[in-house]
Structure 1
């Protein structure tokens, strides 16, 4: 996610250059505790349908600063943006509130911590989101992995947070040339990330909330390309989130791929789908809920994720990122995926009433846009 006043994140300018038409076979349908428990109460489960949003906590932009206490009750998971590394390879993650010089109405740290407790008492999850566009994180060494675990733990403990959101972008994840099997990754930065997250999950227990917000480039593009691939010369980042998602699928609370700022992506119908309407969200989400062969290898299928662990990522307004769609298109996508209606020209490989919900960049941009995104979510799911 980007901090710029007018966009959500940079468009992958090299995306179109690596695409080529392929005909692929579609697979068969197929320990420390959280603040709540520290206070003596078990953390509450997510609602059947959840709304996830990022809160600009450490920076300011054209959307305006929103105090955590002022975040509307519609939001079930609040991702604090962002924890960032001291350098790309240090693993040392730091988080602080927006400076008063940039955010004159920023709350004090004590007020912020009190707001976290109040949100948790109301059944909300508050997570630290690591990365974003500016926060490149490359855990290339075991030392960086261990520093990542200790520094992220320090943030979680200081603020009494419920868990972690992984929003690695840019060049944070990239596959080595000999790393061709997403089920058995070799690239140190990926292996160390998986290990670090498993360590955090083990430390905090079953109540630890783990979410991920990859871009389509790092997930659905894996249907066509995985790393440099057998032909060579492809972007080594293509599909690079797949081994992380797969290794952590049992620990994962929610995956919400960013269906925005994306080039056209080939869906399971072997057609390219572009942003701008319900079709893109339907096709991209169908891939996650159906599973797909990685880089065209029908013997190496990325298994489907359960719908309870999937949400759709969308921009909250035209200011927030390319690919914004109006509420009518949001609802068409939800109707198709959960009810089998309003699917347009794309036919899904199932219907998933248990689809968890929606994610947006961001809570701030939604408030800037008079709450259109969250109000539509509340109206749709009641």
Structure 2
């Protein structure tokens, strides 16, 4: 694709990267065939190829409007298009660049600004999120049905975690909303890892991975959180921690990008690159271990929902399924497993109609094999799918831990 960036666009910090990505696109349109929003809306501008043209026009100085913003907002950033693209277009990076510039040029309505600021004030702060969640549950009997249905049901209480006792040590990101929405997930992960001779060390100073801020176009705030996490983890890294384990694939996908996003920061570039290299989704750790030692008595019939951040961003499609099958679980077939469930971080809140349509399609596919339970690898997907009140949705590591003697 030929480009002619405006003088202003050439001054942007990632101008060269944007131009390189634009020029790598050959307009083939294969991406539209696997784009969830294009499949639902049927509008070229609601598919990756159309959005790339919109970003190209934006960076070439052509007029942009709220409609331009709407088409970019509707993108789930599921990165399915990147899996499909024969030319290796790093679409998500271009989208980040385009959204950031569009945010500067088009002022959002007050209601949208308030919603986005509210999400940024709540989601990355576990104590605030937990307090609001408990309040919502307490008053739910008095709320309208439409609002009450959006309040997540009570989660399974966490069991005790084993004290660190092994020579092998890993760090684990606790997450923002997961401690409230699924508090047993990280505890179950710690217990399974302990059975394999791996201890989880705490890093209480680490907080939100930064994805919520970054993907709501508060990119500098997101990078500031990344730097704080690097500082929090660094003493343990220097002390010999072998990995930074993520039980939420959305967080893992973002932490694995720290090195790229901070590559021009002289104070953090080298450390960020090392942190990204050390980051492992939980399934990467388990897949490399002798699982026979767990002596799991599995046998449940499971449908596995592979989050977009696991299969398209981290390229780990099939990894969890492989571990579950090694442990004896009976996995059902899931049609169109590559498509997004509609959670996509805060997307289910900012684009509720599209998110609900995608959720229905995904649950229909997941339930087609009549599973006892649906398993997934990301707290956002888990909460979004479970919120429909259909087949129960759990994190896969909890099901593994429950199968252990």
| TM-score of the pair, normalised by structure 2 | 0.28
User: RCO higher in 1 or 2 (8 Å CA, sep ≥ 6)?
Assistant: 1
User: Is the radius of gyration larger for structure 1 or structure 2?
Assistant: 2
Say which structure is richer in helix.
2
| TM-score of the pair, normalised by structure 1 | 0.29
